[in-house]
Amino acid sequence: MAWSTELRRVHARLRDALTITREALASGEPASPATRELLLFCHGFCTALTRHHEGEDRELFPAVAAAHPELAGTLRALRQDHSMIGHLVGGLEAAVSAAQPPEALAAHLEGIAAIMESHFRYEERSLLRVLETLGLDADPGDALGPL
């Protein structure tokens, strides 16, 4: 299996999920209380993104570190990004649960989107070549999240 292809595929699906979530928010539906659709999209997106990062931290990054110890600093920076994104996702989930107005939810999404895209690009630049030859015997759903 080409882990680089799998990583790109998961990142593309997460980007698509973010787009769908943004569209649900921009649809003009009142967000106070939050619509069922918006709750569904936000919950689905937040869960998928969180599980993706948990899988990388648990399965993928240790395998990369074992095969390429010179990438320890890169992996540390990626884990720090995961922590920051997790904090932002928690803020979005709290905002949705509190039925904050659409502008507040959009601000949370934009913050996540900016960090997520920066993180994905850095991760792809740093790891895709390594992932082309990584020998990892794991289920892609465990290593990259169940998308």
Nearest to 110 by CA among 88, 93, 90: 88
Please say if the pLDDT value at position 2 is more than 90. no
Q: What is the largest CA-CA distance in the chain?
A: 50
Nearest to 41 by CA among 57, 58, 20: 20
- pLDDT, one tens digit per residue, over 120-144 is 999 999 999 999 988 888 888 888 8
Contact call for residues 64 and 130 (beta carbons, < 8 A): yes
Q: Which residue has the tokens 């989930």?
A: 93
As separate numbers, helices (DSSP H) first and strands (DSSP E) second, the chain gives 6, 0
Q: Taking all residues of the chain, what is their mean pLDDT, rounded to a whole number?
A: 86
Please say if the pLDDT value at position 60 is more than 60. yes
Q: Report d(CA 52, CA 93) in Å as an integer.
A: 17
Q: Please tell me the predicted confidence (pLDDT) of residue 147.
A: 64
Q: Please tell me the predicted confidence (pLDDT) of residue 35.
A: 55
Q: Please tell me the predicted confidence (pLDDT) of residue 1.
A: 63
Please say if the pLDDT value at position 90 is more than 60. yes
Strand segments (E) across 1-142: none
Q: What is the pTM of this model?
A: 0.85
The percentage of the chain sitting over the pLDDT mark of 90, rounded to a whole number, equals 50
Q: Report d(CA 83, CA 80) in Å as an integer.
A: 5
- pLDDT, one tens digit per residue, over 7-43 is 999 999 889 888 887 887 777 655 444 455 666 667 7
